[in-house]
Amino acid sequence: MPKLSVIVPFYNVQQYAPDTLRSLRLNARPEYEFLLVDDCSKDETPTLLQQAVEDLSEVAEVRLLRHEKNGGLATARNTGLDAATGEYLTFLDGDDWLARDHLPSLVAAMEDLGCDFVRFDHVQTTGRARTLIRHPHGRRGEVMNPREAILPADRSTSVDYAYAWAGAYHRRLLDRGVLHFTDGLRTAEDRPWIWQLHREAESFAVLNLHGVFYRRGVASSLTQIGDVRQLDFIKAFDEVVEETARDRDADRLLPKALRTYCAIIAHHLAEIEKFEPAVARQLRVMSAAAIKRMPQDLLTDVLDTMDLRRAAALRRLRRKVTSPKNGTPKAAA
């Protein structure tokens, strides 16, 4: 069994893939397994990956997995998870890269701590600028209960730091069905995943490690494109709320889930100009329908704790939902 499986989806990233692949070689060990998932790229990415297989095979186990049609990041990661055979697992996106020896440090920490998963800081890169982004949980190098790290509701917590690549995960979580993503989600795919991870795992730790360089502002990234795929955040957070409502600690955890959902809706409404007109209209309708689906008493409490600007925007949306003359909005399929 390989010590570590690294799952790396690629889609039309010919400009950035060489940096990603070079960083994998700088971290390679014979006991590591690199799973390169080509999500039906249409540029030169497949050629780069085929060349990388030959190069990386000299220093690690490597497999190239190809999709016949584009399925999105969640589906590509699931393909890697289904093929992974390592004791530990981690992720990297095809336009990001690793510092030298990041992976050996990560494996050493997992073996030392013995917990279900670890999380760590990362470096955000925008052009030549570098910014250290810290995991919101302050206690480092200490094994903790991941369920307790979901709260408090009114502060940034572990579930708000949702990047799948900012961690490593023991295989026992994969065997228990905890690590797979909701197939087909085109954005916010990490949100239901991180909530499930923190509800279902038994132990975790946060490391003072920051060896992933996350490339922000990539033109092809969905965070930069105002098309209909961005609206999958509604599906993602509906899943978070539905699953948390069934949890044994729903009374404690559901306010956090609703507050985060409301904050994301408010964020997108504040940036509605970036969306195509038809998508902007769909965003308003779907957001209104989402507000209506929420437990209304709990929603009132959540809005009372939010900042005035976002709370006001959401209350206006809520009034439109409940106004008889406006009728009931229908969520788009």
Strand duo 117-120 + 122-126: pairing: unpaired
Question: What is the total count of domains within the chain?
Answer: 2
The answer as to whether 236 is a domain residue is yes
Fill in the DSSP letter of residue 16. T
Cα(327)–Cα(324) distance, rounded to whole angstroms? 5
Supply the pLDDT for residue 226: 64
Q: Are residues 278 and 179 in the same domain?
A: no
* Rg (the chain; Cα; Å): 20
pLDDT at residue 332, rounded to an integer: 36
The answer to whether residue 333 is domain-embedded is no
What residues contact 293, with CB distance under 8 A and at least 6 apart?
238, 241
Assess contact for 4 and 107: CB atoms under 8 A: yes
Q: How many CB atoms lie within 10 A of CB 149?
A: 19
CB proximity list for 273: less than 8 A, separation 6 or greater: 280
Confirm whether 331 is domain-assigned: no
Residues 135 and 35 placed together within one structural domain of the fold = yes
256 and 196 within one domain:
no
Full DSSP string of 245-263: HTSTTHHHHHHHHHHHHHH
Question: Which SS3 state, helix, strand or coil, does residue 133 take?
Answer: strand
Contact 36, 57 (CB under 8 A): no
State the residue for tokens 């969306």: 275
Q: Is 273 contained in some domain?
A: yes
Q: What per-residue confidence (pLDDT) applies to 110?
A: 98
Which residue, 223, 246, 271, sits at the end of a domain?
A: 223
Q: Confirm whether 206 is domain-assigned.
A: yes
**63 and 85 both lie in a single domain:** yes
d(CA 9, CA 77): 6
Which of these three, 189, 207, 223, is where a domain ends? Answer: 223
Burial annotation 246-280 (CB, 10 A radius, 16+ → b, else e) = ebeeeebbbbbbbbbbbebbbebbeeeeebeeebb
Residues 265 and 318 in one domain: yes
Q: Which of 176, 207, 223 is the last residue of a domain?
A: 223
Of 16, 162, 24, nearest to 100 by C-alpha is 24
The answer on 243 and 95 residing in a single domain is no
8 A C-beta contact, residue 115 and residue 234: no
pTM confidence score: 0.92
Helix pair angle (308-322, 250-270), 10° resolution? 90
Cα four-point dihedral sign 57, 63, 68, 70: negative
Boundaries of domain holding 270? 225-326
pLDDT reported for residue 331: 39
Helices (H), the chain: 17-27, 45-56, 73-83, 102-113, 171-175, 190-200, 232-245, 250-270, 277-293, 296-305, 308-322
Output the CA torsion sign for 161, 167, 173, 177: positive
Asked whether residue 332 is assigned to any structural domain, the reply reads: no
Which CATH number goes with the domain that contains 137? Answer: 3.90.550.10
Residue keyed to tokens 């994969």: 174
Closest CA to 168 of 258, 249, 98, 253: 98
For the chain, 333 residues long, give each residue's pLDDT as a single digit of tens.
999 999 999 999 999 999 999 999 999 999 999 999 999 999 999 999 999 999 999 999 999 999 999 999 999 999 999 999 999 999 999 999 999 999 999 999 999 999 999 999 999 999 999 999 999 999 999 999 999 999 999 999 999 999 999 999 999 999 999 999 999 899 999 999 999 999 999 999 999 999 999 999 765 555 545 679 999 999 999 999 999 999 999 999 999 999 999 999 999 999 999 999 999 999 999 999 999 999 999 999 999 999 999 999 999 999 986 655 444 444 333
Alpha-helix residue ranges (DSSP H) falling in 114-249: 171-175, 190-200, 232-245
Domain co-membership, 295 together with 202: no
